[in-house]
Amino acid sequence: MYRIIDGKATAATVREEIAAEVNKIKEQGGKIPHLAAILVGHDGASETYVAGKEKACSAVGFYSTVIRYEDTITEHELLEKVAEINKDPEIDGLIVQLPLPQHINEQKVIEAIRPAKDVDGFHPVNVGRMVIGLPAYISATPAGILELIERYRIPTEGKHCVVIGRSNIVGKPMSILLSRKSYPGNCTVTVCHSRTQHLAEITRSADIIVAALGKAKFLTAGMVKDGAVVIDVGITRVKSDKTKSGWKLLGDVDFEQVAPKCTYITPVPGGVGPMTIVSLLKNTLLAARREIYPS
């Protein structure tokens, strides 16, 4: 019988732990963590994510500020705002919600954020530090997955982990983190992507599969060996007449087919998703404490 990795419940536990830390900070008269988010335009998914981040901040007692711009803002204006927040001692962490409008160079904006405030962990300095094992902000989705693996005490040492997808935000960091000399880690990692040949053969030899390619129900039973651990990072929104919102979320894994073969599996929704926001909160707490970049 497989076990569900309950991201929703785990995220609630982590939020309680963070809230307890905030109470301690308050008692000691320390700095309350403060996250700023810049949101450009009116992309539906981005609005939802930023609202979720605001709500999570208030749930644990953090301050949060959302700075909104119409999608007519120039790159220069956006960069000036980032520079201003970089210097603001009140704000500990800054995220610029992606995607940005076409006329703005996303990479340029990411690189404008001070690494010490880059709680998304997207700045090349944080990515580079993570790669060589220096203290760094680890981006929220991979950090959330590591937290789930740890809290469910899933063995990783010597295991063959197959990561499907090579994005900068998930696949690439995940593959590096799981091969680190630590727990979770010490895996033998294979990264698969859109040009991989004989993918099913490779995934069938995996002890752990991280599906992060963004194709609904891509991973099917024939691609998974008995006893595997399956982590589903997919969130494809599809129209549904069965939900109140008119939308439902599909993962990259065909859950009904795959789950019976697994020892552990994450559902969608309620798996990796809820963990990403708490990872951002944890990074913001680290930022407020100046733990990664002592000044």
The answer to whether the peptide bond before residue 99 is cis (omega within 30 degrees of 0) is yes
In terms of CB distance, is 28 or 102 closer to ligand GUN?
102
- Label the pairing between strands 93-96 and 188-192: unpaired
CB neighbour list of residue 82: distance below 8 Å, 6 or more residues apart: 38, 94, 96, 109, 112, 113
Q: Radius of gyration (Cα) for the chain, nearest Å?
A: 19
Q: Which residues of 46-55 are buried (b: 16+ CB within 10 A; e: fewer)?
A: beebbeebbe
* Catalytic positions, written as ranges: 53, 97, 120
To ligand GUN, the closest distance from the beta carbon of 84 in angstroms equals 18
In terms of CB distance, is 155 or 214 closer to ligand GUN?
214
Given the rule CB under 6 A, which residues bind ligand GUN?
Answer: 95-98, 120, 140
Position closest to ligand GUN via CB? 98
To ligand GUN, the closest distance from the beta carbon of 132 in angstroms equals 23
To ligand GUN, the closest distance from the beta carbon of 53 in angstroms equals 9
Helix, strand, coil abundance in the chain, percent, nearest 5:
40, 20, 40
In terms of CB distance, is 49 or 293 closer to ligand GUN?
49
In terms of CB distance, is 187 or 280 closer to ligand GUN?
280
Q: Which two tokens stand for residue 144?
A: 């959330």
Q: What does 56-92 look like in DSSP terms, one character per residue?
A: HHHHHT-EEEEEEE-TT--HHHHHHHHHHHHH-TT--
Question: Is 3:263 a contact under the CB 8 Å cutoff?
Answer: yes
To ligand GUN, the closest distance from the beta carbon of 269 in angstroms equals 15
Q: What are phi and psi of 230, to 5 degrees?
A: -120, 120
Question: Is 276:144 a contact under the CB 8 Å cutoff?
Answer: yes
Does residue 281 sit in helix, strand or coil? helix
In terms of CB distance, is 2 or 106 closer to ligand GUN?
106
To ligand GUN, the closest distance from the beta carbon of 140 in angstroms equals 5
To ligand GUN, the closest distance from the beta carbon of 116 in angstroms equals 17
In terms of CB distance, is 40 or 162 closer to ligand GUN?
40
